[in-house]
Chain A
Amino acid sequence: MRNICSLGSTRLAAAAFLLLGASAHTAFGATYFLTVAGLGGEADYEQRFQMLATDTDKMLKASPGTDKIVETLKGADATRAKLEASLAKIAAAAKPADAFVLMMIGHGTFDGGEYKFNLPGPDISGPELAVLLNRITAGRQLVVNMTSASGGATDALKKEGRVIITATKSGTEKNATVFARFWVEALRDPAADTDKNQAITALEAYKYAVAKTTAFFTDSKHLATEHAVLADEQRAAAFTLVRSGSAVVVTDPAKRALVATKEDIENKIDALKYQKDLMDSDDYRRQLTTLLLQLARTQEAIEK
């Protein structure tokens, strides 16, 4: 999902780096990923949570690019002490130019006032977690809380620059969630990459998981017991979680010019799409076709 709005362009101005088949990725520092699978309570949940965390870990690690640090806590390792230690380590290492992604899988509880993430041994509350997260200086942060009652943690975790996704809209949605399953599925399913730039962003994964969660309840004729929430779509669109294309460096000056041309065409396409509702449909289509053909030819020339 390319961002073209208020966050400013996420394209590289110099266009020196390319994802194979995709023009843009963000010019940020490293991304720290921490995935935690909490206490299952029952064997089925235990197995499910650990499997989701393991799959996430594998996909993050397999994703092209070296600008990522991936850590996963699950099973007996997912204790409060280890979570605190991992967060402290990230706090010590991460810089403002970096990004941080926390993914929480498991059960959560909410007593009307305070959310708790269930871990083997002592749980951790929303405010306690917030204190640890606030020590991390990474300029862009994403918390994906996929536990039951996760909506109950939002107020505590809110912070400028931190995108929060929760599987439930409030702390009162207390049933075990299915959102996590579809979130993880999004990371591996090419269909989640709706703009086909070979990268799956948090927004794309969120939309994919929401659609699948809705279908899950609709198909089974059960009342939906969870309603995921994402407050800031624009920022979520800027968070790349996994990539399927490889980064390549364009060194040929001639191709650099082509890359610039390509950027220019893409900007024109974006501008045209913004004007769509105001334009005659035939004229819009004609202009769009012309630009898309130019873009395709340019891309082909770059790849030659």
Chain B
Amino acid sequence: MKRGVLLAGVCGLGLTAGILAQTQPAAPRPPAKKPPAAAPAPAPNTAPVRTSITLAQVEGLWRNARTAEDYKTVGAAFETLLKSDATNAEYRIRYADLLISRFNVADAESLYQEALKIDPKNAKAYIGLAEIYADSFDKLGEESATAALGLDPKLYHAQEIIARIALEDSNMEKAAKAADLALAIDPTAVEAIAIHATIDLLADRPNSPWLAKIGNRGEGYADIARALVNNRRYEDGIAYYRKAVAANPDLWRAHSQLGVNLMRMGREEEARAELELAYNNDYRDAVTANTLILMDTYKDYDTTRWPEPGTPTGILRLHKKESAVLRPYFEVEMKRAMATYEKKYGYKMTKPVQLEVYTDPANFAVRVMGLAGIGLLGVTFDNVVAMDGPSARARQEGYHWASVMWHELSHVYTIAMTNERVPRWFTEGVAVHEEAATTPDWGDRLNPQIVAALRDKKLLPIADIDRGFVHPTYPEQVIVSYYQAGKICDYIVKRWGDSKLVEMIHAFAGNRQTPDVIREVLKMEPEAFDKDFLADLMAETGKTVNGFEAWTKEMRELNTAVKDDKIPADMLQRARALEAIYPDYVEAGSPYLLAAQACLKASDKPCAVGEFAKYSKIGGRDLEAMEQYAGLLSEGGNKKDALAALSRMIYVFPLDAGLHEKLGNLNLDTGNTKDAVREFQVLLALNPGDKAGSHYNLAKAYQADGQKDKAREEAINALETAPEFRPAQKLLLDVSGDGK
């Protein structure tokens, strides 16, 4: 999956659901245990909530609760209990357990915290918190579980949580050990058994003896399924969710997750059935509700299939309101990426590749709910890719949709080629590498957060790099891990060639661990690889890392001077010195743009063109700057380069009407009449305010392309809006044979 540098959240989805759902746990959890059946139970809904109500009575209400109304009654009873005794930690913990089971994680967390303030040695409160934090991949999960164990060593579920977290880190040894500790306390502990079974399944030992020990406990299969999905083993995950619901047909969270994962794989009919089953049985968490809402919006999408609609190899799904604008570019890039990968990896997909482009970040967020990490821009589920479309991101982000597409489509190939057994770091590393492998100015640049991480020597050894993706220990670690993984793949290609990456893909298909693959394919120890890689990376980035502090200070000074309109006389020299220290910096206040400004102030246009050219080559994405660059090139008669410079911006600003108009005209001027037609068609699809002008532009392009009939129709369209529009009148006469 592709992650944005800006940490756009996937929170706030409860609002989309508009139902009970509040902040949603990232993954399904076992429901909080209802009280034992032996306790006396008043009938639901009918029992009055008295101030003298006891916890046992509330537990009874809860045990018999079935509907949302019942649960509201139980909640009200807990509120009464809380008011009756503000110092009772147990009331808070049980109330929090109820809220967890009703998907209200935020309030549950507060109640556990309150319980700990009252009773700092309450192990159950720590367990509750451990569940919440572990589900959101927060490092506090393990800390809370450990704290619980410190207070009550017999709490086997705390060991299960620790084992689950270790499993997510691919630390099988630690996971097995913690699971064993749980089983030593309770030999029937189902999650611990499931963790052992998962370890076997991930190691391709399908006949694990642990599976039989789960028996008909659906929860155990659901735990396995969840872990398999976390390891991108989606098909296997679906199979185990099926086992879970077969063993326990009332396990609604498993039905929900089965539906979600079927939806991820594009099997919408079956997905909807499972989700509706869960929903109709009052399992209405944010994932279930929002996924159903998302599926309802699919009617608003256009789907293009090729080469044949019935047996497609590619499927592109775009929102109707944007499909006419985006399809010309998305379809071309998708086909180009697939052809490139097919050739490079020597692999032809056996299933159609489906790409879904979302205009609403809330809809895309539903697609990625439950996955580790936030701020995702794209996500791949086997052969199905979901990604943010350009309109889902703020313009100032400079969102490069084509990089994201190539990134995600790379995952499709590495996942398929390894039969879903590729480690996270490697598939991400290849994907980051591929972003810029074909078109060097694409992809993300070395950003200041990564420079700081390099300076502070925060990179992980290759054997442990997966940890940086799933359980980061500092805020920027996920971004740093993407960068590092990408650079590792760049380094492998640089030193050994593309073929080694392909060999590694094949090696991972054999379910080999990273250190073994490094030894086998690269013929070196992982530690030696780390050493060589870091040396190479430092050779490339050392000047930036070492000069970063001075660079930052100088950048601040120069940009402040520009803002205050006090451009120093030596700005060009100073900006160029900054470029030399940190050549990759093309974000706001880039030295290339400062230098170009200095050149223009000195009326030295060739100098400015030179600076803009460097900025463009490295990957600068400021549209105004690029338009200025193209303008200078055009003025100098170099329209081909101007066209090339502006064409880069289509991969960032495909919805900018002005850009299409400029590209249309440049294409016309340089004789690329078919491209001019495309640009002006897209401009019209953007529904511009100047309809007459846009139809006229398209008429001109058709005329230049020799399509007189279409030119005539478009001239008439222009004149229908603006009958007195002289250029359109002249064109109409021209193509009607009246021209002089």
- Residues of chain A whose beta carbon lies under 8 Å from any beta carbon of chain B: 21-23, 190-197, 207-208, 211, 218-221, 266, 269, 273, 285, 288-289, 292-293, 295-297, 299-300
Q: Is the CB of B716 within 8 A of A194?
A: no
Given contacts A219-B394, A220-B394, A300-B733, contact A295 B688 (CB under 8 A): no
Chain B residues whose C-beta falls within 8 Å of the C-beta of A221 in the assembled complex: 393-394
Give the chain A neighbours of B396 by CB distance below 8 A.
220
Point out the residue from A273, A293, A297 that lies within 8 Å of B720, measured CB to CB: A273
Instruction: Report A137 CB to chain B, min CB distance, Å.
Output: 33
Which of A192, A218, A288, A299 is B724 in contact with, Cβ under 8 Å?
A299
Flag if A296 contacts B693 (CB, 8 Å): no
Contact of B716 (CB < 8 Å), options: A21, A23, A273, A288: A288
Asked if B736 and A191 make an inter-chain contact with CB atoms under 8 angstroms apart, the answer reads no
B724 cross-chain contacts in A, Cβ below 8 A: 21-23, 195-197, 266, 295, 299
CB within 8 A of B726: which of A21, A190, A193, A273? A21
Chain B's closest residue to A186 (CB) is: B689
B contacts, CB < 8 Å to A:
391, 393-396, 688-693, 716, 719-726, 728-730, 732-733, 736, 738
Which of the residues A23, A195, A208, A218 comes within 8 Å of B692, measured between beta carbons? A195
- In the assembled complex, which residues on chain A have CB atoms less than 8 Å from the CB atom of B725? 195-196
Q: Which residues of A contact B723 (CB under 8 A)?
A: 266, 269, 292, 295
- B709 CB to closest chain A CB, in angstroms? 12
CB distance from A15 to the nearest CB of B (A): 13
B715 closest partner in A (C-beta): A292
Cα-based distance from A297 to B733 in the complex (angstroms): 8
CB pair B692 A194 closer than 8 Å: yes
Residues in B with CB closer than 8 Å to A197 are 722, 724
Instruction: Tell whether, in the assembled complex, residue A191 and residue B688 are in contact, meaning their CB atoms are under 8 Å apart.
Output: yes
Contact B729 A295 (CB under 8 A): yes
A-B contact pairs, 19 of them (CB 8 A): A22-B724, A191-B688, A194-B689, A195-B722, A195-B725, A196-B692, A196-B693, A196-B724, A196-B725, A197-B724, A219-B394, A220-B395, A221-B394, A292-B716, A296-B719, A296-B738, A297-B733, A297-B738, A300-B733
Cβ–Cβ < 8 Å partners of A220 in chain B: 394-396
Chain B residues whose C-beta falls within 8 Å of the C-beta of A297 in the assembled complex:
733, 738
A297-B725 Cα distance, complex, nearest whole Å: 13
Q: How far is the CA of A110 from the CA of B728 in the complex (A)?
A: 47
* A299 and B726 contact, CB distance less than 8 A: yes
A193 partner residues in chain B, CB cutoff 8 A: 690
Chain A residues whose CB sits within 8 angstroms of the CB of B726 once the complex forms: 21, 196, 299
Would A219 and B395 count as touching, CB distance under 8 A? yes
The minimal Cβ–Cβ distance linking B623 to chain A, given in whole angstroms, is 11
Closest B residue, CB atoms, query A212: B689
Chain B residues with Cβ below 8 Å from A266 are 723-724
- Closest Cβ neighbor of B733 among chain A residues: A296
Task: Name 6 extra pairs, CB < 8 A, besides A191-B689, A194-B693.
Answer: A193-B690, A196-B692, A197-B724, A219-B395, A293-B738, A296-B729
Query: Known: A21-B726, A220-B395, A299-B726. Contact between A292 and B689, CB under 8 A?
Result: no
CA of A296 to CA of B716, assembled, Å: 11
The CA-CA distance from A295 to B724 in the complex, in Å, is 8
A292 to B: closest C-beta gap in Å:
5
CA distance A296 to B396 in the complex (A): 44
Min CB distance B718 to A, Å, is: 8
Asked if A211 and B689 sit within 8 Å, CB to CB, the answer is yes
Determine the residue in chain A with the shortest Cβ distance to B361: A221
A289 to B714, CA, bound (A): 11
Q: Contact between A296 and B722 (Cβ–Cβ < 8 Å)?
A: no
B693, A191: Cβ atoms closer than 8 Å:
yes
B690 engages A296 (CB within 8 Å): no
Cβ-defined contact, A191 with B733, below 8 A: no
| Chain B residue with the shortest CB-CB distance to A262 | B724
List of A residues within 8 angstroms of B719 by Cβ: 292, 295-296
Question: Do A292 and B722 form a contact, CB below 8 Å, given A191-B688, A194-B692?
Answer: no
Closest partner residue, chain B, to A284 (CB atom): B720
Contact present for B395 and A190 (CB under 8 Å)? no
Bound CA–CA A208/B722 (angstroms): 16
Interface-centre pick from A23, A190, A196, A221 (highest chain B CB count, 10 A): A196
- In this complex, which of B391, B691, B721, B729 has the most chain A Cβ atoms within 10 angstroms of its Cβ? B729
Beyond A21-B726, A211-B689, A220-B394, whether A288 also contacts B720 by CB under 8 A is yes
Is A192 within 8 A of B692, CB to CB? no
Question: In the assembled complex, which residues on chain B have CB atoms less than 8 Å from the CB atom of A295?
Answer: 719, 723-724, 729
Closest-CB distance, B600 to chain A (whole angstroms): 19
Residue of A nearest to B397 (CB): A221
Q: In the complex, A296 Cα to B724 Cα: how many Å?
A: 8
Residue of A nearest to B726 (CB): A21
The CA-CA distance from A193 to B721 in the complex, in Å, is 11
Q: Select from chain A the residue with minimum beta-carbon distance to B738.
A: A297
Inter-chain CA distance A297–B716, complex, in Å, is 14
Residues of A within 8 A of B733 (CB): 293, 296-297, 300
A192-B690 in contact (CB<8A): yes
A192–B716 contact, CB under 8 A? no
**Partner of B729 from A269, A288, A300 at Cβ < 8 Å:** A300
Partner of A207, one of B394, B689, B692: B689
Give the interface centre of A207, A288, A292 by most chain B CB atoms within 10 Å.
Answer: A292
B721 adjacent to A195 (CB under 8 Å): yes
A292–B695 alpha-carbon span in the complex (Å)? 15
Instruction: Write the chain B residue with the least CB distance to A23.
Output: B724
A293 to B692, CA, bound (A): 16
Take A192-B690, A196-B724, A299-B724 as given contacts and tell me if A289 and B716 are in contact as well, using a CB distance cutoff of 8 Å.
Answer: yes
- Across the interface, A191 reaches (CB within 8 A) one of B394, B690, B721, namely B690
Distance in angstroms between the alpha carbons of A273 and B738 in the assembled complex: 24
Contact status A194-B395, CB under 8 Å: no
- State which of A195, A218, A293 has its C-beta within 8 Å of the C-beta of B736: A293
Q: Give the distance in Å from the alpha carbon of A292 to the alpha carbon of B729 in the complex.
A: 8
**A191 neighbours in B (Cβ, 8 Å):** 688-690, 693
Nearest chain-B residue to A300 (Cβ)?
A: B733
Q: Which of B391, B720, B728 neighbours the largest number of chain A CB atoms within 10 Å of its CB? A: B720
Q: Kindly state the separation between the CA atoms of A218 and B361 in the bound complex, as whole angstroms.
A: 13
CB-defined contacts of A288 to chain B, threshold 8 Å: 716, 720
Instruction: Give Cα A285–Cα B716 distance, bound, in whole angstroms.
Output: 9
Q: Give the interface centre of B396, B689, B723, B733 by most chain A CB atoms within 10 Å.
A: B723
Closest 6 CB pairs of A and B: A196-B725, A296-B729, A219-B395, A196-B722, A191-B690, A221-B394
Q: How far is the CA of A195 from the CA of B720 in the complex (A)?
A: 9
CB distance from A190 to the nearest CB of B (A): 7
Distance to closest chain A CB from B704 (angstroms): 20
Provide the residues of chain B in CB contact with A300, threshold 8 Å. Answer: 729-730, 733
**Bound Cα distance A289, B723 (Å):** 11
List the A residue with the shortest CB-CB distance to B661: A191
Closest Cβ of chain B: how far from A218's Cβ, in Å? 8
Q: How far is B688's CA from A192's CA once the two chains are assembled, in angstroms?
A: 10
Nearest chain A CB to B561 CB, angstrom units:
15
User: CA separation between A192 and B730, bound complex, in Å?
Assistant: 21
Determine how close the nearest CB of chain A comes to the CB of B336; give it in whole angstroms.
27
Provide the bound-state CA to CA distance between A21 and B720, in Å.
16
Q: Please tell me if the beta carbons of B722 and A194 are within 8 angstroms of each other in the complex.
A: yes
Complex CA–CA separation, A146 to B460 (angstroms): 55
How far, in angstroms, from A188 to B620 measured CA to CA in the complex?
A: 29
Query: Shortest CB–CB separation between residue A244 and chain B, in angstroms?
Result: 12
Which B residues are CB-close (under 8 A) to A292?
Answer: 716, 719-720, 723, 729, 732
